[in-house]
């Protein structure tokens, strides 16, 4: 019984030795080389095409011309045009209000009478000056004779040929002649100041006449252009004061709307695809507004199409919204109006404005989804991903125009890859734009 374990041990040890030998001599597993699978993505082939920059924005119409009639004289309204009511159309040159002119007619008559009186006084003074000058000339001649006579008599008196009383009489006559000449000279010297005073009075009368005539003109209020009345603040028999607003109206020759265009779209609209010129410089320079076609349609009836044109760019940019205020004008906004089928363009009407610039030729256009933070993903050599920086010239309707960075023939990835690692393998699935 003791000999059984001794006979069982050798077979177990022999089995273990055989197993060790088999494991150590067996060949190892084959190593298989493998790479990450290529990621399938949708791609398009970049190609050049012709695209026309287009921008659509909303805006509210306003009248291009407005008229605020202000009373310039005081008085009672004695006549009012029967069509002077809000909403009515009134042609240019129509008298719409008349203020009582009686006070200004009286002022005019008084000023004209004063002018006649001063003119008569001026003529009288001219005659007086002429007569005084003629008399002065005669008195001077008489003075010369009197002085000669005085000299002769004084000589005779010195020789005691005549009496001294005779000499005194001659001297008194000479002094009287000198006094007369002096008085006439003084009278002539006073004539110019009198003429100046009369001239000033004439000028004042003429000014009073002009003021009265101007006041009479302002008693009639006429329309300066074809317009539509919006407000009337004066009634018949009402007294108005200078500075009082009596009528408000809008011109009907043209309507305008301010379109706030994004700065980048504003650049692209005029074909400026670079940043070398600032928007302020573009606004100060002569903009080629004629290169842009503009149409608008009312929100109430989008089927109505009105031709328009760019008039100007307003002076201040909207810094917060980064927009350029472009003023668009529609000529004759009442042309063809036939309510309710075709409404005229009136203030505060909301309209859609469409801008179309000159076509861009040889433009590389991509979907907006191809742009990722200023980079475009390109399928490069060997089917590997490339990240290429680009500059965008224009963005509209979900498409972008590439100014630099992509050439026709490049294969552009339009799928969003996360993460996008340069050099990763891609499998292209071609789609058409």
Per-residue pLDDT tens for 124-147? Answer: 999 999 999 999 999 999 999 999
Query: For the residues 4-10, what does the mean pLDDT come to?
Result: 48
Place of tokens 């005659």: 127
What band does 393 get if pLDDT is binned at 50, 70 and 90? confident
pTM of the model: 0.68
Q: Cα–Cα distance between 208 and 114 in angstroms, integer?
A: 10
Encode pLDDT of 19-68 as tens digits.
656 666 656 555 544 456 788 999 999 988 888 888 899 999 999 999 99
What band does 17 get if pLDDT is binned at 50, 70 and 90? low
What band does 69 get if pLDDT is binned at 50, 70 and 90? very high
Residue 167 has pLDDT above 60, yes or no: yes
| The pLDDT value given to residue 29 | 54
Q: Looking at domain 40-51+361-430, which CATH architecture does it have?
A: Beta Barrel (2.40)
| The pLDDT value given to residue 315 | 74
Instruction: Determine phi and psi for 287, rounding to 5 degrees.
Output: -75, 140
| The pLDDT value given to residue 10 | 60
Encode pLDDT of 275-313 as tens digits.
545 555 555 555 567 778 899 999 888 888 999 999 888
Range of lowest pLDDT (17-26, 99-108, 358-367): 17-26
Same fold? 40-51+361-430, 67-100+223-250? no
Radius of gyration (C-alpha) of the chain in whole angstroms: 53
Of residues 92 and 271, more confidence is placed in 92
pLDDT averaged over the chain? Answer: 87
DSSP codes of every residue in 56-118: EEEEEEEESSEEEEE--S-EEEEEE-TT-STT-EE-TT-EEEEE--HHHHHHHHHHHHHHHHH
| The pLDDT value given to residue 26 | 58
Q: Cα–Cα distance between 49 and 100 in angstroms, integer?
A: 72
Residue 72 has pLDDT above 50, yes or no: yes
- Residue 397, by phi and psi: left (phi above 0), alpha (psi -120 to 50) or beta? left
| The pLDDT value given to residue 118 | 96
Instruction: Determine phi and psi for 14, rounding to 5 degrees.
Output: -65, -35
Q: Cα–Cα distance between 391 and 174 in angstroms, integer?
A: 112
What band does 5 get if pLDDT is binned at 50, 70 and 90? very low
Query: For the residues 218-231, what does the mean pLDDT come to?
Result: 97
Query: For the residues 397-416, what does the mean pLDDT come to?
Result: 90
In this structure, are strands 245-251 and 391-396 parallel, antiparallel, or unpaired? unpaired
In this structure, are strands 39-45 and 426-430 parallel, antiparallel, or unpaired? parallel
What band does 214 get if pLDDT is binned at 50, 70 and 90? very high
Residue 430 has pLDDT above 70, yes or no: yes
Locate the domains of the chain by residue range: 40-51+361-430, 54-62+253-358, 67-100+223-250, 103-218
Could you tell me the CA-to-CA distances from 347 to 43, 302, 409, 427 in Å, in that order? 49, 17, 51, 58
The b/e string for 385-396 (b: 16+ C-beta within 10 A; e otherwise) is bbbeebebbbbb
| The pLDDT value given to residue 339 | 80
Q: Looking at domain 67-100+223-250, which CATH architecture does it have?
A: Beta Barrel (2.40)
| The pLDDT value given to residue 33 | 46
Count the neighbouring beta carbons within 10 Å of the beta carbon of residue 173. 18
Could you tell me the CA-to-CA distances from 51 to 254, 269, 291, 356, 365 in Å, in that order? 32, 11, 15, 10, 8
Could you tell me the CA-to-CA distances from 363 to 141, 160, 331, 360, 401 in Å, in that order? 107, 132, 34, 6, 6
**Residue 153 has which token pair?**
């008599």
Asked if 385 and 379 count as a contact pair (C-beta separation under 8 A), the reply is yes
CATH class of 54-62+253-358: mainly beta
Residues 30, 33, 35: CA angle, nearest 5 degrees: 155
**Residue 251: which of 156, 188, 332 has the closest Cα?**
332
């Amino acid at each position: 019984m003791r000999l059984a374990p001794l006979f069982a041990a050798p077979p177990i040890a022999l089995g273990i030795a055989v197993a060790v030998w088999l494991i150590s001599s067996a060949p190892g597993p084959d190593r298989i080389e493998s790479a990450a699978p290529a990621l399938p993505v949708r791609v398009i082939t970049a190609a050049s095409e012709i695209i026309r920059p287009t921008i659509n924005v909303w805006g509210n119409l306003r009248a291009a011309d407005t008229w605020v009639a202000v009373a310039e004289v005081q008085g009672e309204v004695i006549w009012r045009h029967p069509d002077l009511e809000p909403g009515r159309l009134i042609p240019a040159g129509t008298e719409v209000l008349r203020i009582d002119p009686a006070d200004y007619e009286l002022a005019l008559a008084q000023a004209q009478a004063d002018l006649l009186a001063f003119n008569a006084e001026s003529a009288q003074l001219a005659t007086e000056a002429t007569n005084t000058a003629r008399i002065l000339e005669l008195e001077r001649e008489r003075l010369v004779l009197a002085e000669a006579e005085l000299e002769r008599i004084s000589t005779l008196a010195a020789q005691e040929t005549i009496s001294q009383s005779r000499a005194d009489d001659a001297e008194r006559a000479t002094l009287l002649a000198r006094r007369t000449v002096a008085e006439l000279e003084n009278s002539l010297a006073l004539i110019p100041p009198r003429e100046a005073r009369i001239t000033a009075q004439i000028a004042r009368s003429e000014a009073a006449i002009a003021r009265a005539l101007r006041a009479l003109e302002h008693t009639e209020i006429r329309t300066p252009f074809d317009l539509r009345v919006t407000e009337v603040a004066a009634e018949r028999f009402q007294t108005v004061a200078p500075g009082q607003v009596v009528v408000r109206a809008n011109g009907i020759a043209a309507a305008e709307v301010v379109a706030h265009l994004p700065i980048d779209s504003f650049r692209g609209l005029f074909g400026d695809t670079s940043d070398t010129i600032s928007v302020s410089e573009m606004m100060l320079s002569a903009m080629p507004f004629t290169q842009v076609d503009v149409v608008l349609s009312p929100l109430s009836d989008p089927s109505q199409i009105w031709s328009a044109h760019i008039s100007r760019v307003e002076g201040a940019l909207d810094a917060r919204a980064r927009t350029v205020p472009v003023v668009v004008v529609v000529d004759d906004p009442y042309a063809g109006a036939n309510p309710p089928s075709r409404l005229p363009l009136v203030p505060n009407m909301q309209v859609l404005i469409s801008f179309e610039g000159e076509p861009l030729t040889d433009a590389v256009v991509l979907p907006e989804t191809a742009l990722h933070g200023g980079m475009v993903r390109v399928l490069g050599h060997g089917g590997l991903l490339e990240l290429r920086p680009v500059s965008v010239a224009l963005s509209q309707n979900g498409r972008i125009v590439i100014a630099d960075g992509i050439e026709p023939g490049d294969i552009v990835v339009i799928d969003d890859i996360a993460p996008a690692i340069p050099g990763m393998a891609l499998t292209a699935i071609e789609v058409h734009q």
